[in-house]
Structure 1
Amino acid sequence: MKKLSTSLLLTLMAFLFFPLVSQAEETVLTPAQTTVIQANGKTAQNEETVLFNADATAWRCSQAKISGGAFSNMLANYEGSPVVITKFDASEFMTGKTLKKATLKFFSKCTVSGKNSNVQIAHIGTGWDATTATWANTNKAETLNATGLNGDGVNVKTSRVELTQDVTEQLAASTDNTIGFGIFTYTGREQEITDITLTIEAIDASASSTYTVKYVDGNGNELKESETRSESIGAALAITDADKASIYNADKTKKYIYVSDDAEGKTVAGDAST
């Protein structure tokens, strides 16, 4: 059995001293830079080139994989492995604010009639420039340090669909509020990527605090690492569907299923004790 536990300390005091809840401010950012890094294929037109166009509204990606923090060319005998790389600069918006949530969004469709392709999203470094980025000078573990974000990916057919990825943790870890992503596929059928945005919710830093979510069994034993989140002082606690997902132990011999939580009626204390 699984319970979500939060501390009762100072909840009443927080309500008395901070009765007004600061509303989160939301903004939608467009990329600071986007380009396609192209792995060498066998033909001249597929040689490594800078595929950057400041006015572009659509980009193409195809089959690649992550190996040691860099992207591996899966289509060397054909067109090579184009990977869309994009980055955002949230530093101006985040000045004086505490991050609440960040969501990467874009549209995708398979360009091969009647087929589909598996779309993958990776978190990457921002130490590259779109105007000079190529497969060779950008695709290095120390530059990209690519890490997959969406597990087994999403199968997308020829109908245009919006894909989203929660990237709150990745943006929160950024020391300069910049963040980069790589978009590619696990299949050899090309995908068209359009309308890339980053939606950010943030709270005035002076009016926010943190609270901790713990995942415990019926005996109070922690089942996985606790999570610290930011929210307006005095706001109610939010327990998500992801919080209620089943948890397995290390060797997959036990499965813990959500039973209850104790968030109801609690509000975020200004001293981070909740």
Structure 2
Amino acid sequence: MPETGPLTKRRIPASGEELPVVGLGTWQAFDFGRGGAEHAQAREGLQAFVAGGGTLVDSSPMYGQAEARVGDLSAELGMRPKLFLATKVWTRGREAGVAQMRDSLRQMRADVIDLMQVHNLLDLDVHMATLRAWQEEGRVRYVGVTHYHQGAYEALEAAMRRYPLDFIQINASVAERESEARILPLAAERGMAVLINRPFAGGDVFARVRRLPLPEWAGEIGCTSWAQVLLKYVLANPAVTCAIPGTRNPRHIADNLGAARGPFPDPQMRKRIVEAVAGA
């Protein structure tokens, strides 16, 4: 039987505030125009997300119309107070960064952004100065940095050592495990919350496992789908605060939230998951 009940939450080290360990990414999934079938599906998906206990929604100016759709739908549904909104600054130059962040607040219909991140470390030093000022003024609550590829880990590690970041966002999955060696331990050491993008390796992992039946041992960690198994692999690391799979499909959102319930795999089970995916 699937697990029911409240979602597992983890603390943001900088404040002690808790977040459910599964959030919602918007890359591609929320890049559509107003109205139509996609809008209706995303509306239903966001309703399912909040009804299931989810709070963190992550977006970016580089995600096309995603910020605007999150803003439209959260206003339409009256759920802004229930959401933890995360977005990013992704441009060069102080003034351009300020203009972009102001536009993000407008698009997301938010007086305050919960988390503002320097996307892919672009013009990091310039934007961090602005972000700290905005944080002191109460325009953003938390600040962080992001990247999606292991090739940037050296630069990311340097940023983590240089700045007292509240959050980092990185890629991690059963197929992309490089962050486990240095980045995740450093985040724990430095007291930084961690968001995980690409928890399904951009969907590549599904292409490998979808033809396989769900292993019987998945039930030992309360999983009823491969998506839950793959998410629980990532969430088993206590340094991870929240994984943000991207989708607007209500059924997929509800399924993903199931990974935030029940036990997480121990090291032996994580090894079994790696072997199952590698052998697919």
User: TM-score range, shorter-chain basis?
Assistant: under 0.3
TM-score (norm 1): 0.27
Higher helix proportion: 2
Higher strand proportion: 1
TM-score (norm 2): 0.27
